[in-house]
Amino acid sequence: GIPLAPKGKLGIPVLFMPVTMKMCEAVVVIHATRENGENWPDEDSAELNKDLKSVTVAENGGIRGIRWIYPVRGIPEAPQQKLVPAVVRCRARHRVEKRVEVLLAGVVPGATAMPAARSSSVVDTNKPGNIQDEVQVTDGFSTTVEFLYELKYQSDKIKSQLDSLVGIHLMQKERDTESGIITLIFNIVFAPNKPMRNAATLVVQCATGGIWKFPILFIAMEPEVDDVINIEAAGLNKETIVGFKLTSQTR
């Protein structure tokens, strides 16, 4: 019974307050009718598809109401905390591999229910004794697996620079049977070609809808000196020339 003027706007607040790390789905339905209760005239009302959800056809012809249907998907995200980023450091033109372990707290498939406010963190790779390897994980985004992950960068420009320099692969997946906390151990490969310092976010998503985010910092230091060129003087006010070749790694 909310009146809406022609070309008016109606704001519909939608509140989502998850208590578990599980995606929730709903549908917001708005049904509009004329204020005077009359039908909208429609010469083709008899030919309208009876299964059409956007209109309500009256028995005596015409359109009795118009319906808008908006699907709503609520995806819970772990609380943002001031986590110390995992630092992947390497000299330019070198290659380094580092293992990063992350903890996922909350309700996940096959795990004990935990409050969504429980902290998620990046920790060292020390393994507790009561861990079981029973969580399916893959990279990319698909609902046929338990967990999905990807690296996100601050801009598309940084992404284009680091996509070919950074690789990430899941090495181990474990679940603590007592707390229900999932532990994922990733192997990150960093092979920079020049000095840089860029931040990234490791995003882990559960197939049931929960999302966890962990900061990662990539630092490429100055490369080692390639060679030392010694030039011996031929005498005062005389030029001495030394030649050397440079090879470009790109076109």
Does the residue 69 lie in any domain? Answer: yes
Q: Which residue has the higher pLDDT, 75 or 54?
A: 75
Contact 27, 71 (CB under 8 A): yes
Give 186's strand partners: 100, 170
pLDDT higher than threshold 70 for residue 105:
yes
Portion of the chain with pLDDT greater than 70, in percent: 79
**What's the pLDDT score for residue 216?**
94
**pLDDT band for position 44 (50/70/90)?**
low
Q: 163 and 194 share a domain?
A: yes
Inter-residue contact 151 to 158 (CB < 8 Å): no
Q: Does 120 have pLDDT greater than 80?
A: no
89 and 183 belong to one structural domain? yes
pLDDT tens per residue across span 173-223:
887 777 777 888 999 999 999 999 999 999 998 877 789 999 999 999 999
Give pLDDT, residue 110: 45
Domain span at 195: 76-108+145-224
Domain shared by 84 and 168, yes or no: yes
Same domain, 70 and 83: no
Residue 213 lies in a domain: yes
**CA nearest to 210, candidates 173, 182, 188, 186:** 182
Does a structural domain hold residue 214? yes
**Model pLDDT, residue 52:** 60
The greatest distance separating any two alpha carbons of the chain, rounded to the nearest whole angstrom, comes to 111
Q: How confident is the model at residue 50 (pLDDT cuts 50, 70, 90)?
A: low
Domain count, the chain: 2
Mean of the pLDDT values across residues 6-15?
90
| Residues 34 and 88 placed together within one structural domain of the fold | no
Residues in the chain: 251
> If you compute the radius of gyration of the chain from its CA atoms, what whole number of angstroms results?
30
Considering the domain boundaries, does residue 130 fall inside one? Answer: no
Per-residue model confidence as pLDDT tens digits over 76-97: 988 777 788 999 999 999 999 9
Q: How far apart are CA 101 and CA 202, in angstroms?
A: 11
Q: What does the pLDDT read at residue 115?
A: 37
Residues 216 and 156 in one domain: yes
